[in-house]
């Protein structure tokens, strides 16, 4: 593949944008291939400035379960565009989307829409502190919950890719309010509760991690967190920005049957537009202004264009119920990749939940960040670069999840396995 226009675009971008990008992981740091500058998307495919075509397994990092330019979603957006882009005032669309979200996440008895997953989570933490009158939060090593100061402690995703254990600019006082436990290690959480009795406002986690690669909760882990939070009068918050409407319609709450006190959503609920939401039990959410003393606001919260896009997306997903087909695709892809890797004698682990999966170049099991860290970084880099040259667009970090859409069919499966075979032979 030729990347001349993308290279030129990056050179120009670096003159005015920090690192040439607006989110660090897009910079393709430490890779020997340039970051493709994308011109358009259609179905399961992306096309860059050099007119290279890629089979897309990133899908804007998760929200495009229906693929690029779904006709019903585009039509809904066109209709709203003809009426107006933003009003800074209430619309019926907000209520309609909130009712649909609550249908599948009944724990979200009351909801507040915001403009991103980061905003949803930082707001939920503020509400948890207001509700409990406590300051400390518990998060898990390798889980990324956005770039709010108190969450950039042992964070995953881009923080791991770019080798910063914490972010500069986060004060010691802010960082000290965050306690870190190990994912799938209930004792590590129990010990924090015992050490800081009566001080912990909430436990926050991705019930299925997606920001240090896909790791599922082991049996009893989520249930144990629920029990610990109940025993210590703390709130349990699920960050379902990735898993909400991605692993099932009701996300990890439905999949594992554990009821948190609050849920944070993003990505799919905006259908690709910048939309997030947080919600929970009425007695908790009643603390949010204007009903209560916890202040949170946003000029573009509930933006009608985002609401229309999200509503059309969720309505179509509900009608299609595509999860069986998506899971079958992932299973077949895992099996096919596994066969190729075994023939090459390469140690690997593939973790998946629903339409999310991660190939780790390490012997399993991979159950926490400590086991993720054992992966072969050099081999991942070679595999990623080879697959990109073959037209397969994977996440450019070992610490990210691969996503599948309804547009990924048997044809795309065959394309992927053919490319993987060629790349592994070259390696």
Known catalytic residues are: 144, 239, 267
Pick from 281, 260, 130: nearest CA to 204: 260
Contact in structure between 329 and 413 (CB atoms under 8 Å):
yes
Question: Could you say which DSSP state residue 87 is in?
Answer: -
Residue with tokens 């005015």: 16
State phi, psi for 19 to the nearest 5 degrees. 70, 5
Quote the CA–CA distance of 288 and 372 in Å, as a whole number: 38
Reading the block at residue 159, the tokens are 């923080």
Contact 116, 274 (CB under 8 A): yes
Residue 319 CA to residue 103 CA, distance in Å, equals 14
For residue 307, CA distances in Å to 17, 182, 273, 312, 395 come to 29, 36, 9, 8, 27
The whole-angstrom separation of Cα 67 and Cα 247 is: 16
- The C-alpha atoms of residue 288 and residue 297 are separated, in whole angstroms, by 10
Residues 6+ apart with CB under 8 A from 345: none
Cβ atoms of 311 and 93 within 8 Å: the answer is yes
DSSP result, 262-288:
EEEE-GGGGBTBS-EEEEE-HHHHTTB
Q: Nearest 5 degrees, angle CA 69-CA 75-CA 80?
A: 120
Pair 166, 233: CB distance under 8 Å: no
């Amino acid at each position: 593949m030729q990347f001349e226009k993308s290279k030129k675009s990056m050179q120009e971008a670096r003159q005015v944008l920090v690192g040439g990008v607006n989110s660090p992981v897009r910079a393709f740091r430490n890779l020997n291939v340039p970051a493709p500058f994308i011109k358009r998307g259609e179905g399961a495919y992306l096309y860059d400035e050099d007119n290279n075509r890629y089979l897309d397994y990133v899908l804007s990092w998760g929200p495009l379960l229906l693929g690029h330019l779904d006709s019903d979603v585009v039509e809904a957006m066109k209709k709203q565009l003809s009426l107006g882009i933003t009003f800074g005032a209430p619309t019926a669309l907000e209520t309609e989307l909130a009712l649909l979200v609550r249908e599948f996440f009944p724990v979200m008895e009351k909801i507040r829409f915001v403009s991103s997953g980061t905003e949803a989570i930082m707001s939920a933490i503020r509400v948890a502190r207001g509700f409990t009158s406590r300051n400390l939060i518990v998060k898990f090593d390798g889980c990324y919950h956005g770039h709010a100061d108190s969450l950039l402690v042992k964070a995953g995703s881009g923080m791991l890719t770019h080798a910063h254990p914490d972010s500069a600019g986060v004060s010691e006082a802010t960082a000290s309010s965050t306690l870190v436990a190990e994912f799938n290690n209930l004792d590590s959480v129990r010990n924090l509760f015992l050490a800081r009795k009566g001080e912990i406002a909430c436990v926050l986690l991705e019930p299925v991690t997606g920001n240090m690669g896909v790791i599922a909760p082991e049996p009893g882990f989520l249930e144990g967190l629920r029990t610990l939070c109940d025993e210590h009068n703390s709130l349990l918050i699920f960050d379902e920005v990735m898993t909400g409407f991605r692993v099932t319609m009701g996300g990890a709450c439905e999949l594992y049957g554990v009821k948190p006190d609050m849920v944070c959503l993003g990505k799919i609920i905006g259908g690709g537009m910048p939309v997030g939401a947080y919600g929970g039990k009425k007695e908790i959410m009643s603390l949010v202004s204007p009903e209560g003393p916890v202040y949170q606001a946003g000029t573009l919260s509930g933006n009608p264009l985002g609401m229309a896009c999200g509503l059309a997306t969720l309505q179509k997903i509900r009608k299609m119920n595509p999860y069986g087909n998506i899971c079958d695709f992932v299973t077949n892809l895992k099996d096919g990749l596994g066969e190729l890797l075994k023939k090459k004698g390469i140690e690997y682990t593939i973790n998946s939940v629903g339409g999310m999966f991660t190939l780790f170049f390490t012997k399993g099991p991979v159950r926490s960040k400590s086991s993720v860290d054992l992966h072969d970084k050099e081999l991942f880099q070679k595999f990623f670069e080879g697959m990109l040259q073959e037209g397969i667009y994977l996440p450019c970090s070992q610490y990210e999840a691969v996503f599948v859409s309804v547009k990924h069919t048997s044809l795309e499966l065959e394309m992927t396995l053919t490319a993987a075979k060629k790349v592994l032979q070259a390696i």
